[in-house]
Amino acid sequence: MQFNAMVTAKLDAYVYALADPRLDGALRDRVFYIGKGNGNRCFNHAHVARGKGEEPLDEGEHKLGRIREIHRCGLDVEVFVVAHGLSDDEAHAIEAVLIPLLGDTNKVSGHGDQNLWLSSNQINEAYDHPIQRGDIPLFRGNILFVSLNRQNTSSLLESDDENQLAQATLGDWGLSVARSSRVDCIVGVKNGLIVSIFETDKSSALTTDFVRIPSEKKRAHGRSRFVGRRRLDLEQHLRGRSVFHDEKCMSTIRRGAGCEFYEAMHSSQGAPLN
């Protein structure tokens, strides 16, 4: 099992526990390893035990022998995300969430925190929620997804200068004049997940404001630089999620392309034009 990019983007640093499914009884009797990590670290022990790990782990320290015994029984190690959404320093401070392992499960459950001790399946259920295009009114119009894969998006989002994020999202983009004049919304994505959302300015009801930048190369197309306002209200709810139209992921930009344009839903039901 692995978490996908949309899930790992939400986890940040986390604390996890590995449990033996062969055992009955309280969780404290089944947990045999506690660790901290990022991304898919919690699954790496099982992958190493099968000879497929991404990094070496100490045989004894990481209980690989016990994991192999579990696999020989035809079972998988149980993975629990004890706490997530942490900084690295916070992940070290896990004493409070380890109380169940010391025998006082009621004390932890009494805190009422529903984000503690989640199974890996519960983590996926909580965060693997792509957006359906039609559910967001702004996304029903002509939409341009732009790649921010080469940008340090964390720095852009944390910067006090919002112009940096605006410049990275609004262009310059290699899009025809005809399509540029009809863009209603520009969505900056990194690895297929939403980073930024801008609604374009209009000089009239049907025409989008943009600056055309001619190419310095002969026979090459120019590029478009757009004007728009940031939709922080949407970003706060949609950042870190992918966008689908039915079964197609629209927010994953094909390799080698800087952007992808989609017609308004009423025109062509979201088919890409490149």
pLDDT above 90 covers a percentage of the chain that reads 54
Return the pLDDT at 268: 45
Mean pLDDT computed over 44-72: 72
How confident is residue 74, by pLDDT bands cut at 50, 70 and 90? very high
Q: From the CB of residue 260, how many other CB atoms can be counted at a distance below 10 Å?
A: 20
The pLDDT value given to residue 125: 78
Residue 270 has pLDDT above 80, yes or no: no
β-bridge pairing 193-200 and 228-230? antiparallel
User: What is the tens place of the pLDDT at every residue in 133-150?
Assistant: 999 999 999 999 999 999
User: Does residue 28 surpass a pLDDT of 80?
Assistant: no
**List of residues 6+ apart from 42 with CB closer than 8 A:** 14, 16, 18, 35, 79, 81, 120
CA distance 108 to 116: 9
Asked if 81 and 95 count as a contact pair (C-beta separation under 8 A), the reply is no
pLDDT band at 219 (very low <50, low <70, confident <90, very high): low
